[in-house]
Chain A
Amino acid sequence: MKLKSLLVGLGLLAGASVAQAEDPLKVGFVYVGPVGDLGWSYEHDLGRQGLEDYFGDKVETTFVENVPEGADAERVITQLAKAGNDLIFTTSFGFMNPTIKVAKRFPKVTFEHATGYKRSKNVGTYVLRTYEGRYVTGVTAGMMTETDTIGYIASFPIPEVIRDINSTFMAAKSVNPNVKMKIVWVNSWYDPGKETDAANALMDQGVDILIQHTDSPAPLIAAEKRGMRAFGQASDMSKFAPEAHIFSVRDNWAPYYISIADAVMKGTWAPKDYWGGFKEDILTIESVNSNLPADVKAKISETYAAVKSGEIKPFTGPIKDNKGNLVVKAGHTLTDVELAQVNWYVEGITDEIPR
């Protein structure tokens, strides 16, 4: 009896020391939307789950969803750091300054901020080359439009969104010189009501292909109802519009989250300005609809391969803006730093960037 309890005790001790030796890496995530948004935050959460699946009990993850980008963000990030997280991903632009502030107070914690431009000793940034996905989207839209008018539902006039509009339009123009683009700004990342209104307004104006830089499937559903076509954004949205859905460009964060957690565990992490796209499989094309014409399907694969291999680089000069200024010189390809500052529309977009 005594021996038994002693053995049990030893076992517990051994177990405890093993647990200590392999203390899991605690990883926190801050999401701007609900994980059920089926877009941006949803995909970040799939990335988190991917991280857990990969490392098993070597990581322990926590997330906070629906965090407003005002004064609350700093508190939530602080509380995650206080709760013992070693690595914290803040997944929206508005978390940039709060992340920098909290990082200063928790120098031993590693922070990674999505889509921002401020870095420090313990803050790295990561961003998607969404414009690569847009290029394939633009080529497809240019081929498929019968009214030569494609519609774009845009969120906020920040460089990422403007860059994507340009990439889409240049791609569409490369296959259809007559193509026109109409843009509606909804000033939100996620607002199914406004997105539906914008989709209907665009379709009323002769648009037959919808592209969105917002996160809800509402525009796809609106297109499905009226027999038009649309693309899925951020996640695979094919199930919302079986007929209308052309393909989805998916944000696939897991590979990045795994590589960063791995670097933190090994002690090799350093703050970087990371850009990932097709090549890194951080951005993927999902569920190409089988009802597309064969030539369009072929062109999608071809364009995807060309962008992935680097044969097509969308922002290679000469590019003129829509006021006639040469913004990218012949032969030059925009660097990542330059890409982060795009604040012009390419030639042919008959619209103004809202200021």
Chain B
Amino acid sequence: MIRIQARTEPSNIMKVASPLIAIVLTLIFGSILFSAIGKSPTQALQVLLIAPLADSYNIGEMLVKMGPLLLCAVGLSLCYRANMWNIGAEGQLLAGALGGSAVALFFIHSESVFALPLTLIAGIVSGMLWAAVPTFLKLQFNSNLILTTIMFNYIALYLLIWAVHGPLRDPEGYGFPESAIFADSTLLPTLFEGSRIHLGILFAIFAGFVGWFILTKTHLGFQIRVFGADEPAARYAGFNSKKLSWFVMLFAGGLAGLAGVAETTGPIGQLTPNISPGYGYSAIIVAYLGRLHPIGAIVAAIFMAVLYMGGDLAQIEMGIPVAVVSMFQGVLLFFLLACDFFINNRFINTNNQATN
């Protein structure tokens, strides 16, 4: 009989080995999958995993895709460390996009140097406000944070849809649900000619390092880690759980809001109903892939961005249907997260014990 047993201490070998095992399993699975639909597995894997990094344009686009994932994931990592189960990054991102866009449209005929900073601040504050309500409800009334943050995602989406159909709609847009295109004064500058890499990506990477610094170098970060590891111990030590909860939620909300406003003032350049293809949800996977570590989140966000781009390239270059690509991606993520299970657990053979 094979049983699962919790390890007394996390396995250091498995910490390194688990992603490698996952990759090997995925490569085996991928080869079978792509052969089954009559495509060359080596070419498919090359297009899916390497082509997104093959030239400067693709790398730039990978970074554009990485930005919002990373901003959301850094905040979520801290939340989950502190046992705050915030599923609301998507709503906080949309709130940031909405709040920031409202300010950007206010500056539509302005060339003021304050236009962009005010737009970004509006986005950050909107994201924080959107995170604040569920936080307040949890701390004051002990409501379930998972449920309230999910509901707030829907509310943010419908608020956004209402706004682009109503007050923020382009008056010259034939009634289509889109805002006017923002003025240059409120667009995030791009860093390289001919690329969409914008300032928001630097913010995202910076946020990763800020998150790392807070978590590992400050007393606050120490409290967050203790709180997540052993809540009764943290309370016994007299840590203020309310203060910690507020901090991680507002931090996460602000970053997600920044992600939203950076999408609208960056690559999109206007407010549309389709700001996010689910970045706030994907960021949950990114946070866990990065093992709830802000620097890990950078690596994981790059990885996820590569996967998404590879999916499109596989369609363009090889005609692989999107359903097959999604299946491959799903299995890869499953293996990665499943193998992490063996850091803290192991299989043991109970037959030996029985015969002894």
Task: Please encode chain A, from 326 to 355, with 1 for each CB lying within 8 Å of some chain B CB and 0 for all others.
Answer: 000000000000001111000000000011
Residues from 302 to 356 in B contacting A, C-beta threshold 8 Å:
308-309, 312-313, 315-317, 319, 321-323
Contact between B269 and A82, CB atoms less than 8 A apart:
no
Chain B residues whose CB sits within 8 angstroms of the CB of A158 once the complex forms: 175-177
Q: Which of A1-50 contact B (CB under 8 A)?
A: 28, 34-36
Chain B residues whose CB sits within 8 angstroms of the CB of A74 once the complex forms: 196, 267
Say whether A72 contacts B57, CB under 8 Å: no
Q: How far is the CB of B245 from chain A (nearest CB, A)?
A: 31
A-chain residues with CB within 8 Å of residue B269 when the two chains form the complex: 97
B165 close to A (CB within 8 Å):
yes
Q: Kindly provide the distance from the CB of B172 to the nearest chain A CB, expressed in whole angstroms.
A: 10
| Stretch in B12-20, B130-138, B271-279 with 4+ CB within 8 Å of A | B271-279
Beta-carbon nearest neighbor of B176 in chain A? A158
Partner of B315 from A65, A82, A105 at Cβ < 8 Å: A65
Q: Does A294 contact B (CB under 8 A)?
A: no
Chain A 131-161 interface residues, beta-carbon cutoff 8 Å to B: 156-159
Cβ-defined contact, B313 with A79, below 8 A? yes
Most chain A CB atoms below 10 A, which of B268, B313, B319: B268
Q: Is A316 an interface residue (CB 8 A)?
A: no
Specify which of A67, A97, A159 is in contact with B174 (CB 8 Å cutoff).
Answer: A159
Residue from B162, B181, B268 in contact with A70 in the complex, judged by beta carbons closer than 8 Å: B268
Contact count band on A:
35 or more
A318 near B: Cβ within 8 Å? no
Q: A157-B165, A187-B161 known; A67 and B312 CB under 8 Å?
A: yes
The answer to whether B316 touches A80, judged by C-beta atoms less than 8 angstroms apart, is yes
Task: State whether B175 touches A70 (Cβ < 8 A).
Answer: no
- Nearest CB of chain A from residue B236's CB, rounded to whole Å: 47
Q: Is the CB of B165 within 8 A of A355?
A: yes
A78 CB–B CB distance under 8 Å: yes
Contact between B316 and A83 (Cβ–Cβ < 8 Å)? yes
Q: Tell me, yes or no, whether B232 is within 8 Å of chain A by CB.
A: no
Given A62-B316, A187-B161: A97 and B64 interface contact (C-beta under 8 Å): no
A67 proximity list for chain B (CB < 8 A)? 312
**B117 CB-CB contact with A under 8 Å:** no
Does any Cβ of B come within 8 Å of A63's Cβ?
Answer: yes
Q: Are B166 and A71 in contact, CB atoms less than 8 angstroms apart?
A: no
Interchain CB contact under 8 A, A94 and B57: no
In the bound complex, how far is the Cα of B312 from the Cα of A28, in angstroms?
13
Judging by beta carbons under 8 Å apart, are B316 and A64 in contact? yes
Q: Is B270 an interface residue (CB 8 A)?
A: yes
Chain B residues whose CB sits within 8 angstroms of the CB of A105 once the complex forms? 194
Which of the residues A70, A187, A341 comes within 8 Å of B275, measured between beta carbons? A70
| B263 CB-CB contact with A under 8 Å | yes
Q: List the 5 closest pairs (A to B, CB-CB), nearest first.
A: A68-B277, A69-B274, A71-B267, A355-B166, A64-B315
Using a CB–CB cutoff of 8 Å, the interface residues on chain B facing chain A are 57, 61, 64-65, 158, 161-162, 165-166, 174-178, 181, 194, 196, 263, 266-270, 272-277, 308-309, 312-313, 315-317, 319, 321-323
17 contacts between A and B (CB under 8 A): A62-B319, A65-B315, A65-B321, A65-B322, A68-B274, A70-B276, A71-B267, A71-B268, A74-B196, A76-B312, A78-B57, A83-B317, A97-B178, A156-B165, A157-B177, A187-B161, A355-B166
Taking A75-B196, A157-B165 as known contacts, 17 extra A-B pairs with beta carbons closer than 8 A to each other, sorted by chain A number, are A35-B321, A36-B323, A62-B316, A64-B315, A64-B322, A65-B315, A66-B322, A68-B274, A70-B272, A71-B64, A72-B65, A74-B196, A75-B61, A75-B309, A97-B269, A187-B161, A340-B174
